Amino acid sequence: MKLTYRDLKETTNLFRDFIYNFEKVDTFYAGNFRKIESFEKCRADLTKRKYFRNEIASILERQNSELGASVQTLKNISYLKDNHASVVFTGQQVGILGGPLFTIYKAISDIKLAGWLSEKLKTKVIPLFWLAADDHDFLEVNHIYLLNPQSQVTKIEYKPRTDWQGKPMAKVILEESINSFSKAVGENLAETKYKNEVLDKLFQFYQEGQFLSLAFARWLTFLLGKYGLVIVNPADKDLKKLAAPIFEQEIEQNGRLENIFRETNLKLEQRDYHQQIKKKENYLNIFVDNGQRSTVRKEKDFFVVEATQEKFTSQQLRGLLNQKPNLFSPNVILRPMIQSYLFPTLAYVGGPSEVAYFAQLKELYKALEINMPVIYPRATVALLERKTLEMLERYSLDIRDILTQDIESVINQVLEKTLPPNWEENFTKTQAEIKSKFEDLESEVAKLEPTLKETFATTKGKVDFELNKLKEKYFQAHKRKNKIVREQLYKVKNHLYPENDLQERKFNLVYYLNKYGFDLIDFLFQSIEVDDFEPKVLILEEEL
């Protein structure tokens, strides 16, 4: 079974052109991801700049060693000291238990692209994963979705006593309630031969007293560390210190940078492309954490930290930055600039939303004199279990039917095939015969009493209405009698398009690890191809 991005209603005009007609959007990007020449040019530009290679390598070695890094990961970090080495970035929020499936697809795409570029460019390209540890939306990362043994979409939420909303995720410590959360996860997973092993390993990382962001990092390191993935924790005070010059430029040039951003948005709008990032005017692209991560607003000659209403002059805010750089973090606009300022970033692997917001950033890179990386689309994957595939085949359906149509329409199509032969034709024929008889009778009535013509027309309309109603009731009765078909197709939908969302955006990996074991990771790694730019349908057999 095959899919294209054209099949998915979630695909925006911008992403569709990015994939299929790059020449329409090339003005918004640094290079065409399909052409090796784009990467060669970017690499040549990177060699003209100096980076904090030794300092960065030292920080990453410390961070990753604490996560249980593999030999290959530590080797990759050491390669960073080489002036010819570059990096491929991806990143994600630190969702509990690893977040949605696409997190793992992003990381694998990142690793495989780095390996492919290393071969093509004959130089070391290292895969880096940026933890969104500075993010402060706890409600986005505190839950998972999975399918319970009855194939129902189930949300399981971690509910600590402490209110962490608004706090950087790097500060979130898992509390006693992680135990009830882990119990709920176990109760909603089927009994399999892999269950104990998977849950024991998972909750070895996610346990009371651990930092949420570090639990995420350790879990990802466990899953993909052997492939050399390097974790970057931007909440690290030493990294913040190195990034201070970019924060300083944002403070000094905020008005100019805001105008540049606005102009790009107008160009996107003129081409009928959406703006992924909606930015309020007069707000800096930084957060300041004085107890709570807060936006900063420009108000005449002052900068106001909104959470505390503290006011700073430009000089005072820069003074705070110099004294306490660890209080500062970038928003979604400035974060990519900091990545490319700190690291020789050759490419960024992103999903459709990230591809869209990078289109808004090219001119900001230029303004800050930072090299923009080539933007590369991550793998989009649909996991199709054998039983679900058999159900589709039983009813002569394709995965596209489930992803592109309302499930009731799909059910109707299937049930129509199981109705008695010519049932609809018989209804239509009967309606036509009755209509013909009425027309014959109408002329007779009109001859006898012309004033009854209107009453006759009303009666004819009512009869026609009731016949249509009867036809619908007949079909609905057929649907009720075929309850099993209906239930099976709803289960298929739950597997492939849960709550009208792409599977990769909804489900957590633990559901699939529970059924297929840790060999699933190797299967995914082997199956995801770096030069395949269409959604991939992977069939999961009982034994991988």
Residue 475, pLDDT > 90, answer no
**Per-residue pLDDT reduced to its tens digit, 2-20:** 899 999 999 999 999 999 9
The mean pLDDT of 83-97, rounded to a whole number, is 97
Residue 537, pLDDT > 90, answer yes
The mean pLDDT of 94-119, rounded to a whole number, is 98
**Is residue 265 in some structural domain?**
no
Residue 102, pLDDT > 80, answer yes
Q: What is the percent of the chain where pLDDT is above 90?
A: 83
The residue written with tokens 């082997």 in the block is 526
Q: Which pTM does this prediction carry? A: 0.90
Strands of 31-97, DSSP E: 86-92
Determine which helix (DSSP H) or strand (DSSP E) holds 365, and give its type and residue range: helix 362-367
**Is residue 129 in some structural domain?**
yes
Residue 441, pLDDT > 90, answer no
Residue 452, pLDDT > 90, answer no
pLDDT at 476: 73
Residue 449, pLDDT > 80, answer no
**Per-residue pLDDT reduced to its tens digit, 319-364:** 999 999 999 999 999 999 999 999 999 999 999 999 999 999 999 9
Read off the tokens for 112: 């495989």
End-to-end CA distance of the chain: 18
pLDDT at 451: 67
The mean pLDDT of 72-95, rounded to a whole number, is 97
Instruction: Name the nearest CA neighbour of 281 among 302, 301, 254.
Output: 254
| Residue with the larger pLDDT of the pair 47 and 290 | 47
**Residue 426 confidence class, pLDDT cut points 50, 70, 90:** low
Q: What is the DSSP string of 485-508?
A: HHHHHHHHHHHHSGGGS-HHHHBB
**Residue 207 confidence class, pLDDT cut points 50, 70, 90:** very high
Under 8 Å between Cβ of 39 and 122: no
pLDDT at 429: 73
Q: What angle do CA 502, 521, 117 make, to 5 degrees?
A: 90
Average pLDDT, the chain: 93
pLDDT at 213: 97
Q: Which residues contact 167 (CB under 8 A, 6 or more apart)?
A: 136, 138, 292, 293
**Is residue 155 in some structural domain?**
yes
State the Cα–Cα distance between residues 69 and 62, nearest whole angstrom: 10
Q: Which residues contact 485 (CB under 8 A, 6 or more apart)?
A: 395, 411, 414, 415, 418
Residue 202, pLDDT > 70, answer yes
Please give the distance of CA 314 from its chain centroid, rounded to a whole number.
37
**Is residue 451 in some structural domain?**
no
The mean pLDDT of 421-432, rounded to a whole number, is 67
Q: What angle do CA 326, 240, 136 make, to 5 degrees?
A: 60
Strands 153-157 and 310-312: unpaired
**Residue 291 confidence class, pLDDT cut points 50, 70, 90:** confident
Read off the tokens for 159: 């509910």
Give the number of other Cβ atoms within 10 Å of residue 280's Cβ: 7
pLDDT at 372: 98
Residue numbers of the domain that contains 154: 5-243+339-382
Residue 422, pLDDT > 70, answer no
**Per-residue pLDDT reduced to its tens digit, 148-183:** 999 999 999 999 999 999 889 999 999 999 999 999
Read off the tokens for 311: 């006011």
Read off the tokens for 396: 């002569």
**Residue 168 exposure: Cα atoms within 13 Å on the Cβ side:** 25
**Is residue 100 in some structural domain?**
yes
**Per-residue pLDDT reduced to its tens digit, 236-280:** 999 999 999 999 999 999 999 999 999 999 999 999 999 999 999
**Residue 478 confidence class, pLDDT cut points 50, 70, 90:** low
The mean pLDDT of 472-478, rounded to a whole number, is 72
Q: What angle do CA 80, 84, 88 make, to 5 degrees?
A: 60
Residue 435, pLDDT > 90, answer no
Residue 425, pLDDT > 90, answer no
Amino acid letter for position 537:
V
**Is residue 363 in some structural domain?**
yes
**Is residue 202 in some structural domain?**
yes
pLDDT at 33: 98
Instruction: Name the nearest CA neighbour of 64 among 228, 201, 209, 200.
Output: 228
State the Cα–Cα distance between residues 305 and 294, nearest whole angstrom: 6
Q: Counting beta carbons within 10 angstroms of the beta carbon of residue 272, is it exposed (0 to 12), middle (13 to 18) or buried (19 or more)?
A: exposed
Residue 420, pLDDT > 80, answer no
**Is residue 139 in some structural domain?**
yes
> Alpha helix locations (H) across 96-176?
102-121
State the Cα–Cα distance between residues 539 and 524, nearest whole angstrom: 11
In the chain, the number of structural domains is 1
pLDDT at 376: 99
